[in-house]
Structure 1
Amino acid sequence: MSQVLVEVLPNIQACYMYITLPSNNVFYQKISVGQSECSIELQDGRVILLKMSKGTYLVPNSATGVTQAANILTVRVQISERTSLISSLSGDILSDSSTKFLDTLLNTSLSDTLVSAHCKKCPNCVFTKVKFRRVMPLPSVDWDHSSENWFCHLHGEHGQKLKPASLQPQHDECFYTELYFLMHNSMMECINAKCDDGMLKCSGCGTLLGENTDLLVKIWALNLKWLTQQGEVIYDRNSSEILLSLFHSIDKDNFGVNCQLVLEVQTVPKKYMYMVTMNTNQKLLVSDVSNLTSCEPVVQKLCLEDKDISLKKIYAIKLLYLIKEGEDSQTGQWVDDIGVHIIPCSSLFFHEVKTMLENSTYFLPDNVKVIENMNIGYIVK
């Protein structure tokens, strides 16, 4: 089956269709647009019929700007005023509804009850029958970095005296953010993991689980699945859900300003991924949602047979991103800018987000994947 991605732009009453043809040697001959479908006739006689999802209506015979680069066909088609209205209303409703962010019920579901945690890469049980007296969310995932700005007008020891003590859990407490769980160092007695120079690794598969210091244990949320004693899942989030949670938490305080977020990995040299949102409710029509959400390299599989393609409607965050290795004046500006949220993360999370963003535009022509020096990416809601 040919791969299709349609970006709906209700503000200009148009959509851009990107159709991946079966091979580089296949060329289109004619494109016909109806109210709810688009037909692509190929020079070899085959026909690809795209069926729009409910609520998306095209203006018949409105295909313009048709280009083909290699085996990717780009077509601009007008959408009806009714589609623009439906898309705008749906986007507003989606903004007001709950997105997939971190469930604050962890405050109750993880506290005062026996729970276990398993590595998500293998069957190894990391925590067995632990009980927390109190489970609380930290103010934000970048609380430590943001709090430095509260004292930027003070200098030296005077500022240090006024700074509050770090938020550190007691031996029977667990604090959490979208990215990690923070526990007292005494929890090391309950962890089934190897500790190598402060790095905690799964004793089963060797996956990096978190970090250990003299005072604290930090476990990356991406690597854990929390269960009740009856085996009911309390917490199990993938990288896409965690990233959506980060954007949701930051965006709700931005008052309409584009959200700027930097993922930072403490490797040598450091790695950075700068992201800025373009549209938090981008409507897409796709032939295969899995390609946009996968954290594994995409393997392109196209069928040479004629087939009708029914497109599925989804909403996504459209963003620009830039990956840098090492520190320079640009990364220094990100760190100093109070509008940019610096988020320390694990290497695994960084890698999965990078792969997911690359996959999300895999079937776009190269000339639309980049704006100036930044890459385009989608995060499916």
Structure 2
Amino acid sequence: MAVVAAETRVFLEVRRRLQSALLILGEPDEGGMHLDVSITPTSLLMRTPDGCTEIRLPAGVRLVPSSCAGLQYIRGDGLHLRLRAQAESSPKLISVFNQSLQAQECCTFYCQSCGEVVIKDRKLLRVLPLPSENWNALVEEWCCHPDPFANKPLHPRENDCFLGDSFFLVNLRSDVEQEPKANTKVICKRCKVMLGETVSSETTKFYMTEVTIQPSEGSFPNIPRSQFVQSVVAQCLVELSSARSTFRFTIQGQDGKVYILLWILNSDSLVIEPLRSSDCSNKFPLLEDFSEAGSSSAWNAIKVLYQPCIKSKNQELASSWEGDISVHPLTLPSATCLELLLILSRNNVSLPVSLRQMNSFQVAFLKI
């Protein structure tokens, strides 16, 4: 096959469950040159008069060249084609905090934004999941006598850590400087980012997107903020959709204001970034922030539909979702909600034009 291009923008998504792949070779902005594309089970090879670029697929992923179908050219977008793909099943997700939180370990809590130590050398004897936020209401339905847990909220002891949907609770000692009363924000001393809030005089809630936890003998992992937020939110969404069979979420601030309506389309996508060198600028714009020159990357990702709810947008739809029991709220600091909306918007405009919208929703990938 052949197409005219000055600079080819490549998009490749592999669906693990469907064993299929979508390849889009973007339309050039201007000018043109001859481009030949060859597909092998383990790579894509693009040749131009100036040279060639090879995109090698990651281990465990193979294309079936003879299955090429649905070939079409979409003006303003590029050449689309679909193929069968042989891909290993999605790796089992490990809870975002179980990766680093292990009972009996001595841990240090860091501000994810700047690396400031928040809690140092805290030994955790118990790391336990919290029940859903409606557990008290369920107990009332189950019990034929007065609720034995009424007015008895679950609070961690000194060496406990309780995991919620998007937060975790720890017993507050003298590690965190804050006013000794409930419902006050916990602020990083160095960068002034909101890390969480106090629940009681002894219990502090930290948001998963704001704090990194590492074994005390380790060091602070310097992960780009955007990458960290995407990964944490994506894992939270996948875990919640699996546990509660829900795929629609409202992303709301700690003040209860809804910022984003989000709908999971699928969680089995593998997006592959091509090999890059100084002689070739072909790349996946979707992943350009996280790749290094001369390397190739494959990212597990979830594909989502979203609607922003800032500046009075989509208020009627947001009210409808809030009143729907099948929609689950996910609470984050308000500033992080805006960060997430910016990430979604940036990833949306990086997609080929034909993939950016579905019905009235915008489409984006969140990398796990």
- Shorter-chain TM-score range: 0.7 to 0.9
Report the counterpart of residue 245 of structure 1 in structure 2: 235
Deviation per residue, 1:322-365 (Å, 9 max, x gap): 12135944223322322211111113432343233333343323
Counterpart amino acid of residue 356 in structure 1: I
Pick from 241, 248, 253 the counterpart of residue 265 of structure 1. 253
Which deviates the most, 32-41 or 360-369? 32-41
Work out whether 1:334 is the aligned partner of 2:321. Answer: yes
Compared with structure 1, are the counterparts of its residues 195 and 240 closer, same or farther at alpha carbon in structure 2 (3 Å cutoff)? Answer: farther
The secondary structure found in structure 1 opposite 2:64 is coil
Deviation per residue, 1:10-32 (Å, 9 max, x gap): 859662314374xx323465654
Deviation per residue, 1:64-122 (Å, 9 max, x gap): 322342xxx4212242xxx44x13xx2xx326x34564317725045xx4x43232333
Higher relative contact order (CA 8 A, sep 6+): 1
Aligned 1:1-381 pairs, distance under 5 A: 3-8=9-14, 15-19=22-26, 21=28, 24-27=29-32, 32-35=37-40, 36-37=43-44, 39=46, 46=50, 49=53, 51=55, 53=57, 55-59=62-66, 64-69=71-76, 73-79=77-83, 83-84=84-85, 86-87=86-87, 90=88, 93-94=89-90, 97-99=92-94, 101-103=96-98, 106-110=101-105, 113=106, 115-132=107-124, 134-139=126-131, 143-144=132-133, 146-147=134-135, 150=138, 165-177=152-164, 179-184=166-171, 186-187=172-173, 189-192=174-177, 198-215=184-201, 216-231=203-218, 238-254=228-244, 259-267=247-255, 270-287=257-274, 292=286, 312-325=297-310, 328-381=315-368
Structure 1 stretches lacking a partner, 5+ long:
304-308
Output the aligned Cα RMSD.
4.3
Compared with structure 1, are the counterparts of its residues 33 and 226 closer, same or farther at alpha carbon in structure 2 (3 Å cutoff)? Answer: closer
Which deviates the most, 1-10 or 214-223? 1-10
Bigger proportion of residues as helix: 1
User: Is this contact kept in 2: 1:316–1:379, CA < 8 A?
Assistant: yes
Counterpart amino acid of residue 244 in structure 1: A
The alpha-carbon deviation at position 242 of structure 1 amounts to 1.5
Q: Distance in 2 between matches of 1:52 and 1:6?
A: 12
- Identical residues among aligned pairs (%): 15
Compared with structure 1, are the counterparts of its residues 151 and 138 closer, same or farther at alpha carbon in structure 2 (3 Å cutoff)? Answer: closer
Paired residues in the alignment total: 339
Counterpart amino acid of residue 90 in structure 2: L
Compared with structure 1, are the counterparts of its residues 59 and 125 closer, same or farther at alpha carbon in structure 2 (3 Å cutoff)? Answer: same
User: Is this contact kept in 1: 2:305–2:362, CA < 8 A?
Assistant: yes
User: Is this contact kept in 2: 1:195–1:201, CA < 8 A?
Assistant: no
Q: Distance in 1 between matches of 2:111 and 2:302?
A: 29
Report the counterpart of residue 279 of structure 2 in structure 1: none
Q: Distance in 1 between matches of 2:70 and 2:126?
A: 60
Compared with structure 1, are the counterparts of its residues 171 and 9 closer, same or farther at alpha carbon in structure 2 (3 Å cutoff)? Answer: closer
The secondary structure found in structure 1 opposite 2:162 is strand
Counterpart amino acid of residue 76 in structure 1: H
The alpha-carbon deviation at position 369 of structure 1 amounts to 0.3
User: Is this contact kept in 1: 2:272–2:297, CA < 8 A?
Assistant: yes
Counterpart amino acid of residue 64 in structure 1: L
Counterpart amino acid of residue 78 in structure 2: T
User: Is this contact kept in 1: 2:74–2:80, CA < 8 A?
Assistant: no
Counterpart amino acid of residue 358 in structure 1: S
User: Is this contact kept in 2: 1:4–1:20, CA < 8 A?
Assistant: no
- Normalising by structure 1, we get a TM-score of 0.70
User: Is this contact kept in 2: 1:126–1:193, CA < 8 A?
Assistant: no
Deviation per residue, 1:141-190 (Å, 9 max, x gap): xx22x447638989xxx998885732222455432235322134x53x32
Counterpart amino acid of residue 19 in structure 1: G
Q: Distance in 2 between matches of 1:339 and 1:214?
A: 30
The secondary structure found in structure 1 opposite 2:62 is coil
